[in-house]
């Protein structure tokens, strides 16, 4: 078991991971017309930037910009279409005072986003796509989030199977992190995401949340991305735009179990909830 770092390097920024400090709040910024969570309400660059400004005013710590939906069954978009969606947003926010993350698995998008000033790469494929590893190795200090996914977005929810979901996800993430270490990436630049809803059944997701503290044994900050996901809808019966309460509950559960980064849609409410969590745990 590695000792987790006390900081997380994210490009120009260095986050404090002190044990009793509230987790980093990563706000989800969708520059897509087909996001499962907002139905494409924020389509223009100006609209997307305005949403980011609300997040910043609410105390967001990190903004995760995505130009391609990865919801179950999502159809991939071309490289050019993704770039057309995300690059104007990055340009508009690069001096906003908050670190930016690019949510992509495409190497060229990573390269252009990092060159434009993005601080972190968040990859659902954990750098398994062609050129992705080389892309992040070109950056001396970008943060890197490696996520576990079984199969791909088109097929990941077709009867996912595991003998032991926590152990298997940990094994995969440990291997991917070790690959980065072997290529000279510092431990405190790497974060891990077990991938709730990415090739997991409801039972798999609940087991991962119940045993979320296990993932910290790998020695890296762990990200919890449960906001508005279908697992919450299956339990509560709520539609995607009515899942604020269970999303906040899941964020607090993850924080209690060692999550250092919470990826969310509802930034103001989550920041307030985690401020209370931090005060109680001080």
- Extract the tokens encoding 185: 């990436």
Average pLDDT, the chain: 93
Residue with the larger pLDDT of the pair 32 and 199: 199
pLDDT of residue 232: 97
Q: Which residues of 150-168 are buried (b: 16+ CB within 10 A; e: fewer)?
A: beebeebbeebebeebbee
* pLDDT value at 39 more than 50: no
* pLDDT value at 156 more than 70: no
Residue in the block written with tokens 């044994």: 217
* Candidate list 106, 176, 257, 263, residue with the active-site label: 263
Distance of CA 29 to CAs 2, 61, 133, 224, 233, Å? 32, 13, 24, 16, 21
| Cβ-based burial of 92 (10 A; exposed 0-12, middle 13-18, buried ≥19) | middle
Poorest-pLDDT segment among 66-70, 178-182, 189-193 = 66-70
* Candidate list 229, 243, 257, 260, residue with the active-site label: 229
CATH homologous superfamily, domain 7-281: Dihydropteroate synthase-like (3.20.20.20)
**pLDDT band with cut points at 50, 70 and 90 for residue 5:** confident
**Average pLDDT in the 245-263 region?**
97
Note if 263 is an active site residue.
yes
User: CA-to-CA distance for 92 and 90, rounded, in angstroms?
Assistant: 5
- Of the CA atoms within 13 Å of residue 116, those in its CB half-sphere come to 21
* pLDDT value at 36 more than 70: no
User: Where do the domains of the chain lie?
Assistant: 7-281
Note if 200 is an active site residue.
no
* pLDDT value at 1 more than 70: no
Torsion of CA 152, 158, 163, 164, to 10 degrees: 60
């Amino acid at each position: 078991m590695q000792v987790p770092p006390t900081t997380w390097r994210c490009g120009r920024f260095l986050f404090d991971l002190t044990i009793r400090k509230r987790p980093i709040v990563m706000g989800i910024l969708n520059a897509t017309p087909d996001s499962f969570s907002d139905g494409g309400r924020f389509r223009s660059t100006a609209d997307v930037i305005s949403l980011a400004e609300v997040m910043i005013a609410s105390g967001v710590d990190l903004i995760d910009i995505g130009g391609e939906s990865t919801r179950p069954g999502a159809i991939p978009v071309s490289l050019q279409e993704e770039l057309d969606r995300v690059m104007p947003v990055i340009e508009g926010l690069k001096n906003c005072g908050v670190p930016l993350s690019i949510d992509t698995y495409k190497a060229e998008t990573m390269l252009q986003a990092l060159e434009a000033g993005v601080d972190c790469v968040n990859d659902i494929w954990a750098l398994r796509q062609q050129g992705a590893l080389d892309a992040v190795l070109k950056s001396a200090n970008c943060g890197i989030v490696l996520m576990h996914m079984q199969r791909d977005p088109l097929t990941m929810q077709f009867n996912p199977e595991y003998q032991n979901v926590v152990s298997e996800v940990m094994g995969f993430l440990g291997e991917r992190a070790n690959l980065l270490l072997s290529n000279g990436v510092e431990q405190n630049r790497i974060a891990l995401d077990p991938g709730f809803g990415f090739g997991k059944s409801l039972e798999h997701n609940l087991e991962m949340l119940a045993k979320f503290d296990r993932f910290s044994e790998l020695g890296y900050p762990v990200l919890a991305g449960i906001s508005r996901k279908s697992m919450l809808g299956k339990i509560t019966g709520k539609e995607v735009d009515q899942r604020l309460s269970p999303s906040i509950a899941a964020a607090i559960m993850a924080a209690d179990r060692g999550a250092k980064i919470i990826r969310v849609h509802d930034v103001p409410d989550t920041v307030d909830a985690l401020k209370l969590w931090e005060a109680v745990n001080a």
